[in-house]
Amino acid sequence: MPKKVLILTADAGSGHRNAAIAVYKALTELYGNELEIKVVNPLDEKKTPAFLKDSQKDYDKWVRNVPELYKFGYDFSDGVVPKTIMESVLIVSLYEVMHNLVEIEQPDVIVTTYPLYQAPIHAALVIRHYHIPVISILTDLATVHHIWFNSEVDIYIVPNEIVKNLAIKSGVTKDKIHVIGIPVDPKISKNTKNKQELRKELNLLENKITIFAVGSKREENLLESLNMLNHSGFDIQLIVSAGNDKSLLQELKDVVWHINTKLYEYIEDMPSYLLASDLVISKAGGLIVTEALACGLPLIMVSIIPGQETGNANYVIEGNAGYSVDNPVQFLEAISHLLLHDKKKLFEMQKNAIELGNADAAYEISKIIRNAVYAEHHNDKKHMDFRLKIVELLSQNQIAVDK
């Protein structure tokens, strides 16, 4: 029987799922003949409470409509005491979901790309006296919420030394931490074609500076920045993905474009379009930033979630691989710095970007997962006190457990 890898993710934004899919692809390519790999979103399960299910589709609305309130909630919950309370709520809310997934799937290793799962996974495993290795892949580059860190997770995959130090401060032991990067589509690593070849395949002009603008349902500043670019007079071509936002796509279609422009509601083959480009305009989400850096592309970040994405933006800026802008004037200044003076600044930032990124991260992570599958594991008696506490917590909330 093949060994089983269960990858848990969520759809609160696209980054968590994209990271999970990147690992799935790399595992399938490297070890598909010996491993059975499955990606599951526990928040979509029938027994998941509505407030957690709805948090996925409400994520973009909160970030777009009330960013300061979102930041307040993020900051308020980002501490030891609030984290402990949150973990108790998550254990009560997701215990049955996690218990059922483990019983049905019988995985040999569990991988998670979403921060809310660690505590309920651990509770479910301890109750059943299982020791299935749990591997957590962090999807933010610098600003990391405390809820990501649980000392009982067996392996942490982090993007850089900044996050490694945060993990250690939060009680994770050094031997559990692997500094690798955020996984991106393996297609980026395997690419052997130059930009001109890729552009020809994508029906783009082969010798124009190509800018890729990545939208989403929470973008507010993208359209006005692109309007500034449209009237800049630069000799460029533009690719725009509306990120499944139909209203944004319609607004883009209503523009009279003065530059060669390709508009898409959504792009499935992100690696090809990124690799064909010279520059990315986007939000400061962990995954799009990571993908751009892995492709050697500087970023102009026009949208940043306060708190959560601030660290991502700072990581890019401090690495001299991009700019953060708050208004169209700042955007014009940034684009001018990159495209004027024989594009010297653009080429400099492209070199810096490739140094910050790791296109091979998904492959490196897959090897760690495969090793964890075959490693020897045992039940640890030190979990007995924790198990009694979990039994009490669940019993108080009328959740049946095996005592």
205 and 287 inside one domain:
yes
- In this predicted structure, the answer to whether residue 66 has a pLDDT above a threshold of 50 is no
44 shares a domain with 54:
yes
Give yes or no for a contact between 133 and 111, defined as CB atoms under 8 angstroms apart.
no
Number of domain units in the chain: 2
Alpha helices in 34-171 (DSSP H): 50-65, 67-77, 80-105, 118-127, 161-169
Asked if 229 and 301 sit in the same domain, the reply is yes
- Do 376 and 316 sit in the same domain of this protein? no
Q: pLDDT tens, 377-394? A: 655 555 655 666 666 667
Residues 210 and 167 in one domain: no
Q: Residues 135, 203: one domain? A: no
Cβ–Cβ under 8 Å, residues 184 and 291 = yes
* Domain presence at residue 243: yes
Count CB-CB contacts under 10 A for residue 250. 11
Q: What is the pLDDT of residue 360?
A: 94
Is the alpha carbon torsion for 357, 160, 142, 9 positive or negative?
A: positive
**In the predicted model, what is the mean pLDDT of the chain?**
86
What is the rounded CA–CA span in Å between residue 73 and residue 241? 30
Q: Per the domain annotation, does 92 fall within a domain?
A: yes
- Is position 147 within any domain? yes
- Is residue 402 domain-resident? no
Tell me the C-alpha to C-alpha distance, in Å, between residue 19 and each of 114, 138, 334, 367. Answer: 10, 9, 29, 16
Shared domain for 335 and 228, answered yes or no, is yes
pLDDT higher than 80, residue 403? no
Same-domain check for residues 344 and 210: yes
Domain annotation covers residue 401: no
- pLDDT (tens digit, 9 = 90+) per residue, 70-105? 454 555 455 665 677 778 888 888 888 998 999 999
Question: Alpha-carbon distance 28 to 21, whole Å?
Answer: 10
pTM of this structure? 0.84
Query: Are residues 137 and 55 both part of a single domain?
Result: yes
Rounded to the nearest angstrom, the gap between the alpha carbon of residue 270 and the centroid of all alpha carbons in its chain is 14
Instruction: Please determine, for residue 195, whether its predicted confidence score (pLDDT) is greater than 90.
Output: yes
Judge whether 238 and 211 are in contact, CB under 8 Å. Answer: yes
Q: Kindly give, in sequence order, each residue whose CB lies less than 8 Å from that of residue 6, ignoring residues fewer than 6 positions away.
A: 38, 40, 101, 105, 107, 109, 110, 111
CA dist 19 and 158 (Å) reads 12
- Is 90 exceeded by the pLDDT of residue 221? no
- The answer as to whether 221 is a domain residue is yes
pLDDT of 218 reads 59
Which CATH number fits the domain that encloses residue 35?
A: 3.40.50.2000
- Residue-number span of the structural domain to which 365 is assigned: 3-184+360-396
- The dihedrals phi and psi of 111, each to the nearest 5 degrees, come to -115, 135
CA pair distance 219, 380, nearest whole angstrom: 47
Residues 56 and 105 in one domain: yes
Does residue 205 sit in the same domain as residue 343?
yes
Q: Tokens at residue 387, please?
A: 């198990």
Q: Pick from 96, 95, 108, 88: which is nearest to 7 by CA?
A: 108
The rounded distance, in Å, linking the Cα atoms of 400 and 125 is 15
Shared domain for 151 and 125, answered yes or no, is yes
Q: Half-sphere exposure of 304 toward its Cβ, with a 13 Å CA cutoff?
A: 24
Of 33-42, 69-78, 191-200, the range with the lowest mean pLDDT is 69-78
For residue 66 the two structure tokens come to 């009330």
Residue 303 lies in a domain: yes
Structural domain includes residue 191: yes
